[in-house]
Structures are given as structure tokens and as C-alpha cells.
Amino acid sequence: MAKRAVKYAVIDAFTDTPFKGNPAAVCYLEDEGGVDEQWMQSVAKEFNISETAFLARAISPVDSDPGGGDSSARFHLRWFTPVAEVNLCGHGTIAAAHFLLTSGLVKSDKIEFVTLSGVLIAKKILGVNHLETSDFAADGEEKFSIELDFPMIPVVECNSTEILSVPETLNGASVISIQKTATAADLIVELSSGKEVADIHPNFAELEKCPGRGVIFTGLAPAGSGFDFFTRFFCPKLGVNEDPVCGSAHCALTPYWSKKLEKKTLVAYQASPRGGVLHLQLEEKTQRVRIQGEAVTIMVGTLLV
């Protein structure tokens, strides 16, 4: 039987520099027929990066836009780590939108993704965070960033059984507070400074034994850095020892730091070895977080099904 070719791209999200930010593989399926979850999981394991995203057009009557919107810009989207499917992924969504916009598959500046977390909106924004004086790079390519409209994730108190025991990872760093996300129960560990966050040398065996899914370390950014806070996210239980730049974690970190800093607009730096920048806006009334970042394609190819 002849094999079917599936287009893919590897895209670095939350950066404009190749091999920085967070890589995601984006696989474009003409439709979801002929592939199943096991195949998707095997592909994600083969890529062996933090997330692999799978796109398929959503044009059935169930998915059509009752408001008469552009059904050609509506897609099913799923995300897989090397070991499991996840309900929400920021950088995989940035990468998926970037793939659709740069490949010519979508002409609209607004894309709707049907996901396990509901319908998520991605918008093309010319320039970077509305601050660029030119919409074009030196090579003549159009510059744009992508803004995501994501659900806010509440942060709740930990109970007495959820104790952080990572002495080698902390290496003397001072812990200000420990809370957790209300969804995946990721621990949010605030350290006394962003520098301490950046200087962490993780012991993954320690981190894997922690309660919840993963551990988010965060701290106030150094004065004059241009950022509000630093973050690093470790999730060895999902086969991702360190997530280089995690958009979904900032669905919880945005309300956390918004309350502490008394501001709704924030700029975050994920201080992993690859590094990445996230522009954040808390929409408190609607319980949403707008996450904006850039992306760059570093590889394209085909998979055989």
C-alpha cells in the first residue's frame, strides 16, 4: 500500500532567533482519518522534543462558525510530549499558528483552534508587541508575532502533604512561597530573586519525586532587565526534564505576579539555557490571559504514514 506524506515543520517559539526559545514539531494532517493517538504519540516520541502538535482542518457542521466566520481558519489541534498528550500548550499553539500563516494555508489574521481546552484563538500581530517601527526585517520578510487568548489558571494553596524536598536543586536558594496550579497541580515555587531562578542546577531525580505534575520556579526579575519576572519549568514526569519556554505555565504565573506587582501587563523571561520572552496581559473580568510571542521555522519535511 502506498504511504501518505504528512508535512511537518520544527518551529522555535517565543523567540526570533533559531535554536533559541522552545522547539515544537507541527504535523499537518489533511484530515484526522488514517492516524490514531498511538501513531501521534509515536511521532512525538520520535521527535523527542517538548511538544509535537497535530493540526487538521475543522470544517464539519459541528465545528462551523455560527457567526459566519472563516471556516478555513479553524483547525483541530492536539499536543503530545514524548510520553503523553496534554490539555494545554502555549508554545505548541504559537508554532501551529506560525506554520499555518507562513505556509499560506491560512490567509486570515485570526485562527481558531479546537482543543481539549476548548476553542483557543491565535491572532497575527504585525511587528513585535506593537512596539516595532517597521513591519519588515532587514531581509524584507514580514515581521509578526502571535497573540494567544488562553484560559487563566487559578493558583491555590498547597496542603501539608505537598512538601518540596529538592535540596540539591535549590542549592541554598531561598524559598519565598510554595503554591500550586489548580489544574495540573504544578508546584509554583517563588525564590528570592530571578538570578536564583536562572542559576538553578536541576536534579531531575529529585524533581520527579515532587507532588503534582511539575515544578515551576519563579522570581522577581533583576532591576533594569526590562522584565517583570523570571521562570523555569521542570516536568520530568512527562518526559520533559526542562520545558525551555512554557506558555501554559504563564496562564497561572500571570495572575500570580499581577497580584504581587499590582499590574495587568507583564513581560516574562523564561531563564532556561535556550531562553524565551513572553508578553502577557491579564484579562481579569473574563478570566483570560493574552500571551504574545514570536516564532521562527528551522526545519521542514515530510512524515510517512
- Give the dihedral sign, CA 189/168/88/24: positive
C-alpha distances (whole Å) from 192 to each of 175, 195, 230, 232, 286 are: 6, 9, 11, 14, 31
Contact 202/236 with Cβ under 8 angstroms?
no
Instruction: Select from 206, 207, 210, 176 the least CA-distant residue to 191.
Output: 176
Nearest to 89 by CA among 291, 231, 247, 277: 247
Output the CA angle 166-171-177, nearest 5 degrees. 60
Residue type, 102: T
Q: How far is CA 280 from CA 166, 176, 266, 283, 289, in A?
A: 29, 23, 5, 10, 7
Q: Is 9 exposed, middle or buried (0-12, 13-18, 19+ CB in 10 A)?
A: buried
Whether 51 is a known active-site residue: answer yes
The catalytically annotated residue of 37, 46, 51, 132 is: 51
Please check whether residue 98 is in contact with residue 147, taking contact to mean a CB–CB distance below 8 angstroms: no
The cell 501554559 sits on which residue? 248
In the three-class reduction of DSSP (H, G, I as helix; E, B as strand; rest coil), residue 224 is classed as coil
Q: If you search the block for the grid coordinates 491565535, which residue do you land on?
A: 122
Which runs of E-coded beta strand occur in the chain?
5-13, 22-29, 51-57, 74-80, 85-86, 110-115, 118-126, 144-151, 155-157, 175-181, 187-191, 215-220, 229-235, 240-243, 265-270, 276-283, 288-293, 295-304
The residues carrying an active-site annotation are 51
